[in-house]
């Protein structure tokens, strides 16, 4: 069941991205930035976690989950340490995505040759 809904929800989020490409003629950078902000806003309203409970990876794999993780980290730290936690806690929960992208980027640059 979870695989089915991961497929559907993940696909739908990508369709939203595609509509931003084709209908609103936005660049990938614009689209991804808007989607991350959208994920952060949804978590602000407490709507993203239920979506993760329902769709599993369909909600954690798209870039929107990055926004969700940032807000989560900030809120968790703010509950413990007050307002300053909003700044100190942002990268608490999420680091795998950025770290892995950078690390494998450097490894990729070492291993692979550019084409053309």
Question: How many Å apart are CA 51 and CA 57, to the nearest integer?
Answer: 10
- Region 95-114 residues binding another protein, contact defined as CB under 8 A: 95-102, 104-109, 111-114
Total residues at interface with another protein (CB under 8 A): 87
Phi, psi of 9 (to 5 degrees): -70, -40
- Region 20-39 residues binding another protein, contact defined as CB under 8 A: 20-23, 28-33, 35-37
CB of residue 45 to another protein, shortest distance in Å? 9
CB of residue 64 to another protein, shortest distance in Å? 8
Question: How many Å apart are CA 41 and CA 113, to the nearest integer?
Answer: 40
**Residue 24 neighbours by CB distance under 10 Å:** 10
Q: What H or E segment, with its residue span, contains residue 50?
A: helix 48-55
CB of residue 52 to another protein, shortest distance in Å? 9
Q: What H or E segment, with its residue span, contains residue 68?
A: helix 64-81
- Region 36-65 residues binding another protein, contact defined as CB under 8 A: 36-37, 40-41, 43-44, 49-51, 53-54, 56-58, 60-63, 65
């Amino acid at each position: 069941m979870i695989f089915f809904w991961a497929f559907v929800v993940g696909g739908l989020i990508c369709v939203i991205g595609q509509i931003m490409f084709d209908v609103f003629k936005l660049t990938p950078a614009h689209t991804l930035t808007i989607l991350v902000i959208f994920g952060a806003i949804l978590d602000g309203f407490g709507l993203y976690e239920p979506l993760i409970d329902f769709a599993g990876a369909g909600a954690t794999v798209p870039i929107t989950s990055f926004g969700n993780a940032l807000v989560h980290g900030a809120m968790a730290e703010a509950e413990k340490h007050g307002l300053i936690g909003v700044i100190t806690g942002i990268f608490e929960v999420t680091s795998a995505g950025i770290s892995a992208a950078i690390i494998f980027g450097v490894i990729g640059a070492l291993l692979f040759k550019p084409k053309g």
